[in-house]
Structure 1
Amino acid sequence: MSKEIKADDVIFNFFKQICDEKDDVKCVELGNSWINAMKTNLTNMEKNLDEADKAKHQENIDSNMNHLNNLKDKSAVEWREYATQCMVEILDHKSKS
């Protein structure tokens, strides 16, 4: 049995925490911490690109940042729905790989 931790498992478990959180305030806090972590990752990835790759991927970078910005004002109910949708997509992707 492999003990390797896969990124999609970590992400799935984080979204599961959002879905399972009964306290609405904590649920929104978890969602906002997700936004902050993803923005940090996106910014760090962008910094590591050379200029040619940055230009090539700028549209995707901007799209991802806009997506994260659009998540900011979600309610706990909306976060749970979003997290559930993401978990379904992760499972769907796993079943196809």
Structure 2
Amino acid sequence: MSNLNKTDDVIFNFFKQICDEKDDEKCVKLGNDWIKAMENNLDNMEAQLEQADKIKHKKDINNNRDHLNSLKNKSSTEWREYATQCMIEIMENKRA
């Protein structure tokens, strides 16, 4: 199994956990934990880029940060909907 497939499985399972969580506060906490993890990943990737690559990828990095910011303050219902959509996209990409 490729690392990409393993990563997709981990992400899928995390989103499934958000969908399955019955406690609304815990669901929101899981979603917020997702945001923090992705922000940390972006920070780490950006820190490892050479200056020329930072400039080259600045728009993509900013788009990812904007996307993460748009997820902040979501309700549990919104998190479950978002997680469901992400799981669907992962499954569709596996078939492609």
Instruction: Please report the TM-score for the alignment, with normalisation by the length of structure 1.
Output: 0.93
Question: 2:28 is matched with which residue?
Answer: 28
Which amino acid in the other structure matches residue 32 of structure 1? N
Alignment-mate amino acid for residue 84 of structure 1: T
> d(CA) in 1 for partners of 2:35 and 2:67?
10
* Distance apart, 1:39 and its partner CA: 0.2
RMSD: 1.2
3-state SS of 1:18 partner: helix
What does residue 75 of structure 2 align with? 75
Instruction: Using the TM superposition, give the Cα deviation of residue 85 of structure 1 relative to its aligned residue in structure 2, in angstroms.
Output: 0.2
Task: Report how far residue 9 of structure 1 moved.
Answer: 0.4
Structure 1 unmatched runs, 5+:
none
SS at match of 1:6: helix
Q: What is the distance in 1 between the residues matched to 2:57 and 2:95?
A: 28
Report the AA paired with residue 85 of structure 2.
Q
How far the C-alpha of 1:6 sits from its partner, in A, is 0.7
Is the partner of 2:72 in helix, strand or coil?
A: coil
Distance in 1 (CA, whole Å) between partners of 2:16 and 2:88 is 11
Is residue 40 of structure 2 the alignment partner of residue 40 of structure 1?
yes
How many pairs align?
94
Whether 1:57 and 2:57 are equivalent positions in the alignment is yes
Give the drift of 1:90.
Answer: 0.4
Q: Distance in 2 between matches of 1:23 and 1:83?
A: 15
TM-score, normalisation: structure 2: 0.94
Q: Take 2:27 and 2:19, find their aligned partners in 1: how far apart are those partners?
A: 8
Structure 1 residue ranges, 4+ long, deviating more than 3 angstroms after superposition: none
Matching residue of 2:15:
15
- Structure richer in helix, relative to its length: 2
